[in-house]
Amino acid sequence: MKPDLPKQGAPSGLSRRGFLTLCAGAGAGAAMPWRSFRAASRELKVPAHSWSRGEVIPSTCNMCVNRCGIQCHVVDGVLEKIDGDSRNPKTAGGTCAKGQAGIMALYDPDRITHPLIRVGNRGEGKWRRASWEEAFEYTADHIDKIIEKHGPEGLLFSSCTDLTEVFFIKFGKYLGTPNFARHATLCLASRNVGYFATMGGVPDADLVNAKYILMFGANRMESFELPHNRDLITGLQNGARLVVVDPRMTVTASKGEWLPIRPRTDMALTLALMHVLIKEDLYDREFVAGVTTGFEELKAHVKQYTPEWAEKETGIPARTIVRMAREMAAAAPAVVVYPGRRSSWYTNDAQFRRTLPMLMALLGAFDTRGASFFNAGKVKPGSFDWELEPVEVPPRFDGFDEEKFPLAHHEDGGYINLRDSILNGTGKYPVKGWMLYKQNTLASVADSAKTMRMMETMDFICAIDIQPSQTAWMADIILPETLYLERLDPLWTPSGTTQYVGIRQPVVKPQGEARTLLEILQGLGAALDKRREFETPFSEVFNFTMEDYVDAQLKKLPVDRATLAKEGLWIPPGQGLELGAYRSGSKQFKTPSGKIEFVSERFRRNGYDPLPVYEPVIEEPGRQRLVTGRYAWFTHASNQNNIWLNALHPENEVWINPDLAKEKKIEDGEYVKVRSPVGEIRIMAYVTPRIRKDTVFITHGFGTNSTGQTTLYGKGGADQVLMQDRADTISNNQALHETFVEIVML
């Protein structure tokens, strides 16, 4: 490339101004920040890589769900570099590898930049280019046919979580279907149900000031959740003790004490810790008496769960368990029992998650410095004035309701239950059309052969996506959406320790013919309006622009869109935590008793064990339990095809303990077959002492069946091909760690 030469010692006015603004916002002081030392040094011809910085546009990242503040350097309409926004209270200027590689998501040669209509068989990868007009007519025709035959409830809407998801959901609601499937039961539904029943919500954590941090599987150093990953490092530097319970030594575990627990026995450890705290009278009597219920029942219940018993279950020595309990009690209340995020592990996960806030409550480690706390968002944006949704809507087809899953979030649906209802014919009525919004179901739900069979039952599948994901590849039509760098999105207001309003705005023009989700739904809605009469015509519902939507959100805030677009974020005055209201009793927990419930009333009245009862683990001799997790440079199954990120880790491996490898005569780096009752993959062996002998680990997102993903195709193996379709019994959260596999030499 031809170097664009900056002027000696004085960069272009634009970028200098851009920098000054940035600096002033950060309060960096008045000193000339670009002090030229080059003039004083030896003359240097500009290196070949150098480029002028151009315009700096603030926005919000979308390479994962953290929504970090970014500064985009754009030269002549081309995005050259993404930097973090140092004024952002959540991210403090950092970005991750994924955030940096947003450029390659934008300029990805595999990106879909115009509508594609399938011409071959499903999944064959034969497409023809279509105009948007044709694409809308084609999609509306199919939707219309399904409504004609099955009613609007014959359509299923699946979406991935994002700021724009609301439009997709609304579209389905105005269409009149109750059948939605959101991401919760692929991720954190069981954690939410467990915490909700126990203390009425999932608390945040003051990791900076904690003295003792206990994490079960949570991997903040690789699976980022800002600002927790940075806070955790800072907490450790402040002297916190970190204990990570995980059958695999994650990077997070490497920063503290690693307890390689026998998988699925985590509840034995938490119950035994509670046993020791009560037996040795180490619990916080005042807190327990003040804001909890059911202590006496708990005391009687955990009497059976001795550390010696837990040692046999977990493989963690009884003396370690006793030591942990004593250390935690000594550090209390500055203890964080970390809730974790993805909890799609085991079939008893909601019950296990319940033990975490219970342990927290025994330590009195809530609503005080260095502990867990509730922090409701202080920034209250206005809401958009939507037209009224239809209220005469049939019940869900899959029975995901008060009766079958009384404690679940019914509008989010449950993937395992939903897929079974279709495949077993147990649904209340047929669902024949599937609208997908960036939801890569084939890659994200256990047992992809079953998902494939579910797709075969569909008369029509429409995927709105950016890339030819595995699932989009199986669709009948792909409608290309704009990337986060090309569009204005609803405002972003995080809840948690940091409060601000962030904007995601276009920094470059859309590639090809990609359109925003709102534009796609407007086009599709207009085509549908021509075909039939809806309660509220789509032309009346979606008759607004993204700018209108954002302005409505800003109505009650003392900042306007132009300022926000210039600054990238607005930080309200008065940051900081207000603690103590729950401890003092002036605020009540959202539980039936208003307190933290050791004995859960919600569980009791719905027929679940009101106190968590340990179920012994059943293992399969000679086979290993498969677990999954993340590396820091990939988000779920979404960016393994990104050229820069794929270069960091071209293919995934199966982690095998050295002793197991020796028994199986498997060499590090050789390809092996991994076989489960439902599938088989070929994958490279990574022999490492960072995992237990009875467990193997495969990271997620490889083994694509989409030949459209040219960087990724043919590399690695897919964990979800192997996984059996188990689910948590209470929340229907899929249970990804319930499959035993066999490692076989090729």
The answer to the question of residue 585 lying near another protein (CB under 8 A) is no
In the bound state with another protein, the residue whose beta carbon lies nearer, of 55 and 389, is: 389
Cα separation, 310 vs 529, whole angstroms: 62
Cβ 20 to another protein shortest distance, Å: 9
Count of residues that bind another protein according to CB under 8 A: 109
Cβ 97 to another protein shortest distance, Å: 4
Residue of the chain from 300, 449, 613, 648 that contacts another protein (CB under 8 A): 648
Candidates 132-140, 234-242, 287-295, 455-463 — which segment interacts with another protein by CB under 8 A? Answer: 234-242
Candidates 429-437, 464-472, 501-509, 598-606 — which segment interacts with another protein by CB under 8 A? Answer: 598-606
In the bound state with another protein, the residue whose beta carbon lies nearer, of 27 and 573, is: 27
Site for another protein in 56-85 (CB under 8 A): 80-84
* Structure token pair of residue 363: 């330590």
Site for another protein in 81-120 (CB under 8 A): 81-84, 86, 91-97, 99-101, 103
Cβ 560 to another protein shortest distance, Å: 22
Residue of the chain from 21, 51, 290, 513 that contacts another protein (CB under 8 A): 51
The answer to the question of residue 644 lying near another protein (CB under 8 A) is yes
Cβ 553 to another protein shortest distance, Å: 12
The answer to whether 268 and 308 have CB atoms below 8 angstroms apart is no
In the bound state with another protein, the residue whose beta carbon lies nearer, of 418 and 541, is: 541
Cβ 686 to another protein shortest distance, Å: 9
Site for another protein in 315-334 (CB under 8 A): 320
Site for another protein in 134-173 (CB under 8 A): none
The answer to the question of residue 33 lying near another protein (CB under 8 A) is yes
Closest CA to 187 of 741, 732, 659, 594: 732
Residues 6+ apart with CB under 8 A from 614: 267, 268, 271, 305, 313
Cβ 633 to another protein shortest distance, Å: 5
The answer to whether 728 and 190 have CB atoms below 8 angstroms apart is yes
**Residue 734 main-chain phi, psi, to 5 deg:** -65, 145
The answer to the question of residue 258 lying near another protein (CB under 8 A) is yes
Cβ 516 to another protein shortest distance, Å: 23
Candidates 15-23, 127-135, 290-298, 543-551 — which segment interacts with another protein by CB under 8 A? Answer: 15-23
Residues 6+ apart with CB under 8 A from 380: 556
Residue of the chain from 286, 297, 402, 456 that contacts another protein (CB under 8 A): 402
Could you write out the three-class secondary structure of 147-176?
HHHHCHHHEEEEECCCCCHHHHHHHHHHHC
Cβ 319 to another protein shortest distance, Å: 11
In the bound state with another protein, the residue whose beta carbon lies nearer, of 48 and 119, is: 48
What is the DSSP track for 426-469? Answer: -SSS---EEEEES--HHHHSS-HHHHHHHHHT-SEEEEEESS--
The answer to whether 582 and 589 have CB atoms below 8 angstroms apart is yes
The answer to the question of residue 50 lying near another protein (CB under 8 A) is yes
What is the DSSP track for 200-243? Answer: SS--EE-TTT-SEEEEES--TTTS--TTHHHHHHHHHHTT-EEE
The answer to the question of residue 16 lying near another protein (CB under 8 A) is yes
Site for another protein in 172-211 (CB under 8 A): 200
Residues 6+ apart with CB under 8 A from 268: 305, 309, 310, 313, 314, 614
Site for another protein in 351-390 (CB under 8 A): 383, 387-389
The answer to the question of residue 221 lying near another protein (CB under 8 A) is yes
User: Any idea what the Cα angle at residue 160 is, between residues 155 and 163, rounded to 5°?
Assistant: 115
Residue of the chain from 114, 145, 255, 664 that contacts another protein (CB under 8 A): 255
The interface mask with another protein, positions 492-511, x = CB under 8 A, is --------------------
Query: 497: how many CB neighbours lie within 10 A of its CB?
Result: 21
Instruction: Considering only CA atoms, give the Rg of the chain.
Output: 27
Q: 3-class DSSP state for residue 578?
A: coil
Could you write out the three-class secondary structure of 659-714?
HHHHHHCCCCCCEEEEEECCEEEEEEEEECCCECCCEEEECCCCCCCCCCCCCCCC
**Residue 203 main-chain phi, psi, to 5 deg:** -80, 160
Site for another protein in 723-742 (CB under 8 A): none
The answer to the question of residue 249 lying near another protein (CB under 8 A) is yes
The answer to the question of residue 237 lying near another protein (CB under 8 A) is yes
